[in-house]
Amino acid sequence: MTATATPPASDCIDFQTHPDQYRHWKLAVDGDLAKLTMGVQPDGGQRPGYELKLNSYDLGVDIELADAIQRIRFEHPEVRCVVLTGALDRVFCAGANINMLSSSAHGFKVNFCKFTNETRLYIEDASENSNVSFLAALNGTASGGGYELALACDKILLVDDRSSAVSFPEVPLLGVLPGTGGLTRISDKRKIRRDLTDVFSTVAEGIKGKRAVQWNLVDRIAPLSKWDKAVDEMAREMAAEKETCDSKGLPLERVELERDDEGLRGKYVSLKLGPELRTASVSIQLPKQSGPLDADAALAEGCSWWIFQLFRELDQVLLDLRLNRPDIGLVNLRVIGDVEVAMSLDDFLATSKNWFVREVRNFIKRVLKRTDNTAKSFYAVADEGTGFAGTFLELALACDRIYLLNDPETPVRMGISQANTGVFPMANGISRLQTRFLGEPERVDKILAASGVLEAESADEMGLATFAPDEIDWDDELRLATEERASFSPDALTGMESNLRFAGPETMETKIFGRLSAWQNWIFQRPNAVGEHGALKCYGTPERPEFDFKRT
């Protein structure tokens, strides 16, 4: 048994599902239009103790939504517009389930909100990069997280039935914030005036009808008598703005990972716990050969195309670390294999116009961003037999530190390729090399000019290593660094890493995650929200919340 305990398999959250298993969403595809209908089962919570009333959601609901969006991108490239709507009468979505939030541990709340917002960002990423637009057809009231989901779509259509509204009731009712991007999107994305957003965010009943259009909270309204026709017309307008695609998709098969007391094991990615307390290692095993460099051959391999399967496995490992292993603080990451193989697909991935290769490229980008946003410390360990090159150098650059063995007796190589030019941009909109050398932009040009395989000494001179000890000091330096990191306050480390990982330009995405970390790790622990008489605890009961009215 390792020093870090493994949760029982029955207690672990499974982030994989299939439309045949959906309980809360229905996915229907008709030509170039798809419809995602939200019909949350009240008794279908991920755990006992709360009822999912009025299409309120928990993590299980969002896991299905994330799966559906992923399937549309890979299984239905012909789809040009997706309509999100609700199955209940006069209700689109009441937002995150309050009883679920009030009864959850703090760490779960934070990671639930992070996953939820990543899913909304994936909608926006699909709209920008995958030839598909999204229409939120609000057949009823959209509150809190329900309206945040609508804001992630390109356009919003609201039914005009004299009662349905959009609202952010968190401040007046719950003592928290619409913090999974809500406040950021209404101000930065829809660019609504500050005074109007102030009013909107403090009116519990929300805004409806013509005023919602005038304030740009929605794009259009339609009477109930013409609702179906209005939805269809708007969806077809939006679809017409995208290119047609006659390609046939491929089924997304389940990622098979073996779970035991040691951790997780897939074909290419493994997670091993310990032996030091609160630590784990992630090993990525590259194949011996690079595989197909032809789009048709890659599509024929589908989910088993090694680069796609590898990053799908890594995505599942990252999610497992977040929500199933809260005691893990530090992850040592190795990419094992030939640097030539690591870089072999990079030019192909970067330049191919094929829809499938494009979607794999977009998926890799999202997994790298998931690494950036994971509240664990990451050390890239480049020693004998490792291949941090090209796309896999991006993984090293996503880590908080890079330890590089620099010894003439032990060859260690890294590599630069087109993948490092910005093919996989960070949330700040620039490459990881640009972010790393924000104060030395000329260094980025020199590194890219040295494209190809680099020996350890050259990589160190270029600034690609944090520390580069020789063989004599290697084991001790890595051990001490690991033990030291694991001894620090996890709260302090999460705050520090969130501040340091996104240098450079601020974007809507960096604002969302920066504010997300701040408000969740502060407001979600304040007595006004979660105290014995806090608003989250009192919600749905006759008891009124008791606030400490001192401003902090």
The string of pLDDT tens digits covering residues 114-129 is 999 999 999 999 999 9
Q: CA–CA distance from 378 to each of 1, 296, 319, 343, 501 (Å)? A: 23, 36, 14, 22, 11
- Residues 121, 152 contacting (CB under 8 angstroms): yes
The two structure tokens encoding residue 311: 């990053």
pLDDT of residue 519: 63
Report, as an integer, the average pLDDT of 134-145: 97
- Give the number of residues written for the chain: 552
- Say what percent of the chain tops pLDDT 90: 82
The SS3 of residue 229 is: helix
Nearest-angstrom CA–CA distance, 157 and 248: 30
Q: Is the pLDDT of residue 541 over 80?
A: yes
Residues 150-169 have pLDDT tens digits of 999 999 999 999 999 999 99
pLDDT of residue 532: 87
pLDDT of residue 280: 96
Fold: same for 19-240 and 258-493:
yes
Closest CA to 112 of 366, 376, 369, 323: 323
pLDDT of residue 52: 97
CATH fold label, 258-493: 2-enoyl-CoA Hydratase; Chain A, domain 1 (3.90.226)
* Run of H or E including 156: strand 155-160
Q: Is the pLDDT of residue 478 over 60?
A: yes
Residues 87-122 have pLDDT tens digits of 999 999 999 999 998 888 888 988 998 999 999 999
The SS3 of residue 470 is: coil
Maximum C-alpha span of the chain: 78
Under 8 Å CB-to-CB from 63, ≥6 apart: which residues? 15, 17, 115
Grade residue 3 by pLDDT with cuts at 50, 70 and 90. low
Q: Which of the residue ranges 175-189, 195-209, 309-323, 384-398 would you say has the lowest mean pLDDT?
A: 175-189
Report, as an integer, the average pLDDT of 504-509: 93
Q: Is the pLDDT of residue 257 over 50?
A: yes
The SS3 of residue 454 is: strand
pLDDT of residue 179: 66
The two structure tokens encoding residue 37: 């209908």
Grade residue 269 by pLDDT with cuts at 50, 70 and 90. very high
Nearest-angstrom CA–CA distance, 224 and 229: 10
Report, as an integer, the average pLDDT of 352-367: 97
Nearest-angstrom CA–CA distance, 272 and 267: 14
- Residues 546, 527 contacting (CB under 8 angstroms): no
The SS3 of residue 379 is: strand
The SS3 of residue 390 is: coil
Ordered strands of the 207-208 beta sheet? 90-93, 140-143, 165-167, 207-208
Tell me the Ramachandran region of residue 459: left when phi exceeds 0, alpha when psi lies from -120 to 50, beta otherwise. alpha
pLDDT of residue 1: 42
Q: Which of the residue ranges 376-385, 408-417, 530-539 would you say has the lowest mean pLDDT?
A: 530-539
Grade residue 535 by pLDDT with cuts at 50, 70 and 90. confident
The SS3 of residue 333 is: strand
pLDDT of residue 521: 63
Q: pLDDT averaged over the chain?
A: 94
Q: 3-state DSSP helix/strand/coil percent for the chain, to nearest 5?
A: 45, 20, 35
Report, as an integer, the average pLDDT of 501-508: 92
Contacts 24+ apart (CB under 8 A), 378-382: 378/330, 378/331, 378/333, 379/330, 379/331, 379/332, 379/333, 379/403, 379/481, 379/482, 379/485, 380/333, 380/334, 381/332, 381/333, 381/334, 381/478, 382/334, 382/412, 382/414, 382/456, 382/465
Write down the domain spans for the chain: 19-240, 258-493, 495-538
Q: Is the pLDDT of residue 2 over 60?
A: no
Grade residue 277 by pLDDT with cuts at 50, 70 and 90. confident
- Residues 329, 375 contacting (CB under 8 angstroms): no
| CATH class for the region spanning 19-240 | alpha beta
Report, as an integer, the average pLDDT of 197-201: 96
Report, as an integer, the average pLDDT of 541-547: 89
Higher-confidence residue of 304 and 534: namely 304
Q: Which residues pair with 403 in a beta bridge?
A: 381, 467
Grade residue 518 by pLDDT with cuts at 50, 70 and 90. low
The two structure tokens encoding residue 11: 């207690």
Neighbours of 276 (CB within 10 A): 18
The two structure tokens encoding residue 280: 């784990």
Ordered strands of the 413-416 beta sheet? 387-389, 413-416, 452-455
Q: Where are the alpha helices (DSSP H) in 402-544?
A: 432-436, 441-449, 456-461, 471-487, 490-500, 508-520, 527-530, 535-538
The two structure tokens encoding residue 150: 């609508």
Grade residue 513 by pLDDT with cuts at 50, 70 and 90. confident
Q: Is the pLDDT of residue 520 over 80?
A: no
Q: Is the pLDDT of residue 397 over 90?
A: yes
- Residues 521, 492 contacting (CB under 8 angstroms): no
The two structure tokens encoding residue 92: 């689109």
